[in-house]
Amino acid sequence: MVEPNIVFISSGLKNGGAELALERLLKAHIKKKAFRFVVFSLDSLGPVGERMREMGIKVIALDLRKRSLVLSLPRFFSQINKLHPTQIHGWMYHGNLFAFLAWISQPKSQLVFNIRQALHSLSQEKLTTRIAILFNALLSRVCTLVIHNSKLGIRHHEKVGFCPGNSLYVPNGFDLAKLSPSQIKRDSFRSRHKIPRQARVITLLARYDPIKGHDVFLEGAKILLRERPEAIFLMVGEGLSPDHPKLSGLISQISSNLIVLDHQDDVSSVLNGSDILTVCSHSEGFPNALGEAMSVELVCVATDVGGCSEILGDCGRLAPPAEPASLAQCWFELLSLPERKFRKDGLKARQRIKDCFSADKFVYSFQRIFSACKN
Same domain? For 214 and 111 the reply is no
The CA angle 284-314-271, to the nearest 5 degrees, is: 60
Same domain? For 324 and 368 the reply is no
144, part of any domain:
yes
Q: What pTM did the predictor assign? A: 0.90
- pLDDT digits 0-9 by tens, 310-324: 999 999 999 999 999
Same domain? For 201 and 120 the reply is no
Do 259 and 233 touch, CB atoms closer than 8 A?
Answer: yes
pLDDT at 67 over 50: yes
Domain membership of residue 124 as a residue range: 5-173+358-374
164, part of any domain:
yes
pLDDT of residue 2: 53
pLDDT of residue 375: 57
pLDDT at 108 over 70: yes
Same domain? For 132 and 65 the reply is yes
pLDDT of residue 299: 97
User: Up-side HSE of residue 111: CA atoms within 13 Å toward CB?
Assistant: 20
Same domain? For 162 and 223 the reply is no
Q: What dihedral angle (degrees, nearest 10) is formed by the CA atoms of 20, 23, 28, 31? A: -160
> Mean pLDDT of all residues in the chain?
95
Q: What dihedral angle (degrees, nearest 10) is formed by the CA atoms of 246, 250, 253, 259? A: -80
User: Up-side HSE of residue 224: CA atoms within 13 Å toward CB?
Assistant: 29
- The three-class DSSP label of residue 299 is strand
pLDDT at 8 over 60: yes
Same domain? For 137 and 263 the reply is no
349, part of any domain:
yes
Angstrom distance (rounded) from CA 238 to CA 353 = 25
256, part of any domain:
yes
Do 300 and 290 touch, CB atoms closer than 8 A?
Answer: yes
178, part of any domain:
no
137, part of any domain:
yes
As to burial, measured by CB atoms within 10 angstroms (0-12 exposed, 13-18 middle, 19+ buried), residue 36 is middle
Percent of the chain with pLDDT over 70: 99
Same domain? For 43 and 189 the reply is no
Number of domains in the chain: 2
Same domain? For 94 and 242 the reply is no
Residue type for position 83: L
Average pLDDT over residues 250-271: 96
230, part of any domain:
yes
Same domain? For 225 and 267 the reply is yes
Same domain? For 130 and 27 the reply is yes
- pLDDT digits 0-9 by tens, 218-249: 999 999 999 999 999 999 999 999 999 999 99
Same domain? For 213 and 343 the reply is yes
Average pLDDT over residues 250-270: 96
Same domain? For 352 and 362 the reply is no
pLDDT of residue 1: 44
CATH of the domain at 70: 3.40.50.2000
